[in-house]
Amino acid sequence: MNAIVQFPPRRTTLQEASGAVPALRFEGLHKTFRSKDGADVVALHDVSFSVERGEFVTVVGPSGCGKSTLLRILAGLERASRGTVELGGRRHTGPSRDVGVVFQAPVLLPWRNILDNVLVPAQIQGRDPKVARERALHYLHLVGLAGFETKYPGELSGGMQQRVGIARALVNDPMLLLMDEPFGALDAMTRETMNVELLKLRERTGATIMLVTHSIPEAVFLGDRVIVMSPRPGRVTKVIDVDLPAARTLELINTERFGSHVRDIRTNLNASGGLDG
Amino acid sequence: MSTANTENIDFEPPAPWLTPSRRKALIAAVFVAVIAAWQLVVSALGISHLIFPGPAGVARSIYDVFQSGEVWPHLWVTLYEILAGFALGAFAGFLLGALIGQSALLELVLYPYVVAFQTVPKVAVAPLFVLWFGFDTTSKVVITATIVFFPVLANTIVGLRSAPRDQIDLMRAFTASSWHVFRMVRLPHALPYVFAGLDIGIVLAVIGAIVGEFVGAQAGLGYLILQRNFSMDAAGMFAILIVLSAIGIVLHGLMKAIARRVVFWADAFTDLSRGT
Could you tell me the pTM of the whole model? 0.81
Q: Distance (Å, rounded) from C-alpha A235 to C-alpha A66?
A: 8
Specify whether A47 is located in the same domain as A168: no
> pLDDT at position A92, please?
80
Q: Is A76 left (phi over 0), alpha (psi -120 to 50) or beta?
A: left
Beta bridge partners of B24: none
Is A226 inside a domain boundary? yes
Look at residue B26 in the predicted model and tell me its pLDDT. 92
Confidence of residue B275 (pLDDT cuts 50, 70, 90): very low
Give yes or no: residues A71 and A153 share one domain.
Answer: no
Write phi, then psi, for B118 (nearest 5 degrees): -70, -30
**Quick one: A91 and A216 in the same domain?**
yes
- Residue-wise pLDDT for B107-133, tens only, equals 899 889 888 888 888 888 899 999 999
Across the interface, whether the CB atoms of A95 and B5 are under 8 A apart is answered: no
pLDDT digits (tens, 9 = 90+) for A143-192: 889 899 999 998 998 889 999 999 999 898 888 999 999 888 888 888 88
* pLDDT value of position A93: 81
Beta strand A90-91 with A40-51 is: unpaired
Q: B94 or B102: which carries more pLDDT confidence?
A: B94
Look at residue A16 and tell me if it is in a domain.
no
Q: CATH number, domain at A194?
A: 3.40.50.300
Question: What's the average model confidence in pLDDT over A198-216?
Answer: 89
**Distance of residue A149 Cα from the nearest chain B Cα, in angstroms:** 16
Instruction: Give the distance from residue B268's alpha carbon to the nearest chain A alpha carbon, in angstroms.
Output: 14
Assigned domain for A114 exists: yes
Same-domain status, A69 and A189: yes
Q: Which residues on chain B are in Cβ contact (under 8 Å) with A190?
A: none
Say how far apart CA A145 and CA A142 lie, in whole Å: 7
A228-255 tens-digit pLDDT: 988 778 888 888 888 887 778 888 888 8
Would the CB atoms of B188 and A108 count as touching at under 8 Å?
Answer: no
> Is the Cβ–Cβ distance between A266 and A216 less than 8 Å?
yes
> Which stretches of chain B are DSSP H helices?
20-45, 55-67, 71-102, 104-119, 122-133, 137-160, 165-173, 178-181, 187-215, 221-230, 234-262, 267-272
Cβ-contact A223, A58 below 8 angstroms: yes
Same domain, A166 and A182: no
* Together in a domain, A210 and A229: yes
Is the Cβ pair A110, B265 closer than 8 Å?
yes
Q: Which of A129, A156, A174 is the last residue of a domain?
A: A174
pLDDT in tens, A112-148: 999 999 999 999 998 899 999 999 999 998 888 989 9
Tell me, yes or no, whether A15 lies in a domain.
no
B3 contact residues in A (CB cutoff 8 A): 105-106, 158, 161, 185
Nearest CB partner across the interface for A111, out of B166, B173, B188: B188
Of the candidates A95, A103, A123, the beta carbon closest to that of B166 is on A103
Span B140-156, pLDDT tens digits: 999 999 999 999 999 99
Average pLDDT score over residue span A54-58 = 91
Within 8 A by CB and 6+ apart from A28, the residues are A46, A47, A48, A82, A83, A84
Helix B104-119 / helix B71-102 crossing angle, nearest 10 deg: 150
Same domain? A159 vs A56: no
Q: Which domain holds residue A261?
A: 34-98+175-272
Q: Of A121, A148, A174, which residue sits at a domain end?
A: A174
- Over residues B203-214, the pLDDT tens digits come to 999 999 999 999
Residue A234 lies in a domain: yes
pLDDT at B7: 42
Q: Is A181 contained in some domain?
A: yes
The pLDDT of residue B2 is: 38
Number of domains into which chain A is organized:
2
The pLDDT confidence band at residue B134, using thresholds 50, 70 and 90, is: confident
Please check whether residues A139 and A226 belong to one and the same domain: no
Last-in-domain residue among A174, A192, A224: A174
At residue B240, the pLDDT reads 94
Same domain, A120 and A53: no
pLDDT(A10) > 80 = no
C-alpha dihedral (A267, A271, A276, A277), degrees to nearest 10: -30
Dump pLDDT digits (tens) for A62-110: 887 888 889 999 998 988 888 888 888 888 888 888 899 999 888 999 9
In this model, does residue A17 exceed pLDDT 70? no
* Structure-derived torsion over alpha carbons of residues A26, A28, A29, A33, reported in degrees to the nearest 10: 180
Beta strands in A78-132 (DSSP E): 82-87, 90-91, 99-102
Pairing between β-strand A56-60 and β-strand A209-213 as defined by DSSP bridges: parallel
Question: What is the chain A residue with the closest CA to B173?
Answer: A95
- Residue pair A152/A113 in contact (Cβ under 8 Å)? The answer is yes
Residue A3 has pLDDT above 60, yes or no: no
Q: Assess if residue A182 is contained within a domain.
A: yes
Average the pLDDT over B37-51 and give the result.
87
A121: in domain: yes
| CB within 8 Å: B174 and A120 | yes
Per the CB < 8 Å rule, is B174 touching A161?
A: no
| Shared domain check, A118 and A85 | no
Averaged pLDDT for residues A202-229: 89
Are residue A186 and residue A255 in the same domain, yes or no? yes
Q: What percent of chain B has pLDDT over 70?
A: 91
Q: Which residues of B are less than 8 Å from A95 in CB distance?
A: 172-175
Predicted local distance difference test score (pLDDT) of residue A277:
38
Q: Are residues A83 and A215 in the same domain?
A: yes
What's the pLDDT at A80?
87
pLDDT over 80 (residue B271): no
- The neighbouring-strand residues paired with A210 are A57, A178
